[in-house]
Homo-oligomer: A and B are copies of this chain.
């Protein structure tokens, strides 16, 4: 990797006047580098200090900084694309990795979209200072609850470099310092984006360190980060099973996981079959690589004969591989055999497990056993069963007659989201600005004491 070039590209003169924290810069040889724990501590000291100032900055200062951030990204477009090319060069596009390479690619359109996304976040309501109520106690004490920033949030993610800008903007708007750690496959892109945005917001009056990035590529840096409960208040991991395992094993910091989605759609005996077809097809093929795409379809036996052949035609025509139970294969002869492992599996691809069930209870048992409490859908015209499904199924979102792909911050009207939480505390489902805050009790007294 050629660190000199990054800095030349970014600022030209940066080599003489480094703007980053006072640890060894990228120009140093490995031997001269500081130890990982020292590097992380130095970074986090600055982040923690920034958190105290950032938390009480006004909305207009934060919004101006966001607009500057967006402009800065667009202005640096050429440099960002050059840095991105280094990541793409190093990326192995063979062996079915073309889709991954596409996600990794930055173009001027994508950079513009990233900037527009940040401008949209500037327009959202600032959650900090919002109150969920205030009340008077019998002794005259006024007690209220207001939303405040969480503090310092560590975000560990993989692949798409736009997450760097999105996450930084959401954290800034909600008054949180972010400590970003992207995947090694996008290291040049992430580093370039982080440098542009942290520099532009600093010029707009945001304290240094408010947007921090762990630039050291070693895995040890992640492990070290996960132990810093004195400095970091929350870890948000976004990625695959290996990342989740590392976080689970090492983190002493609270974690809100954006984990896998094993989402089911249950077609009830009373379903409108046209609607069932539209919803199922959309949930599977509109974007199969996402956590809210359908992975298993459950079909009531009473409609299997009418529904499965037409659905099978549509899906096979869209290049979906169907893996079904014996009854499914009876109605869709081209389907393969579903093994036990196919149920509960997150394919993230054009593959669908299908099972014919006796009734809704069997469907709900299946969901309880194999689901990941992410998004669960029923298609039915029956009021009672719709309500029972809604009540008895536990997931971040339970839906009646709609595609699971709609479990999303924009679709729900929350605006931008940092991901979809599958952790059963704090926030479940699309995690928008409000969920990036926590509460503080404010108490207005006139000398009250405890009797």
Report which A residues bind B (CB closer than 8 A): 52, 55-56, 135, 137, 141, 143, 148, 150-151, 229, 233-234, 248-249, 252, 254-256, 272, 275, 278-279, 282-283, 286-287, 368, 390-392, 394-403, 405-408, 411-413, 423-430, 438-450
Of A52, A391, A405, A448, chain B has the most CB atoms within 10 Å of the CB of A448
Give how many copies assemble into the complex: 2
A411 to B140, CA, bound (A): 11
Contact, CB under 8 Å: B405 / A449: yes
A279/B413 contact (C-beta < 8 A), A394-B55, A425-B425 known: no
Tell me the minimal C-beta distance from A416 to chain B in angstroms: 16
Bound-complex Cα distance A425 to B174 (A): 14
Minimum C-beta distance from A422 to chain B (A)? 11
Whether the Cβ atoms of B441 and A412 lie closer than 8 Å is: yes
Cross-chain contact A141 with B442 (CB below 8 angstroms): no
Q: How far is the CA of A229 from the CA of B249 in the complex (A)?
A: 11
Let me know if A286 and B428 touch, CB within 8 A. no
A151-B394, A402-B446, A406-B443 given. 4 additional CB < 8 A pairs?
A: A52-B368, A412-B443, A425-B426, A428-B438
Of B252, B254, B286, B390, which one neighbours A425 at CB under 8 angstroms?
Answer: B254
Closest 7 CB pairs of A and B: A402-B445, A282-B449, A397-B441, A405-B450, A399-B443, A401-B445, A426-B426
Query: In the complex, what residues of B have CB within 8 A of residue A234's CB?
Result: 424-425
The answer to whether A396 and B426 touch (CB under 8 A), given A368-B52, A402-B141, is no
Whether the Cβ atoms of A450 and B413 lie closer than 8 Å is no
CA distance A230 to B408 in the complex (A): 25
**Chain B residue at minimum C-beta to C-beta distance from A393:** B440
Partner of A441, one of B396, B425, B441, B445: B396
Is the CB–CB distance between A406 and B447 below 8 Å? no
Could you list 21 examples of A-B contacts with CB < 8 Å? A135-B413, A141-B402, A150-B424, A151-B424, A229-B248, A233-B424, A234-B425, A278-B447, A287-B450, A395-B440, A397-B441, A399-B442, A400-B443, A400-B444, A401-B447, A401-B448, A403-B449, A407-B443, A408-B450, A411-B450, A412-B441
Rounded to whole angstroms, the CA-CA distance of A344 and B28 in the bound complex is 40
Q: Max chain B CB contacts within 10 Å: which of A137, A248, A397, A438?
A: A438
Residues of B within 8 A of A400 (CB): 443-445
Q: Are B398 and A443 in contact (CB under 8 A)?
A: yes
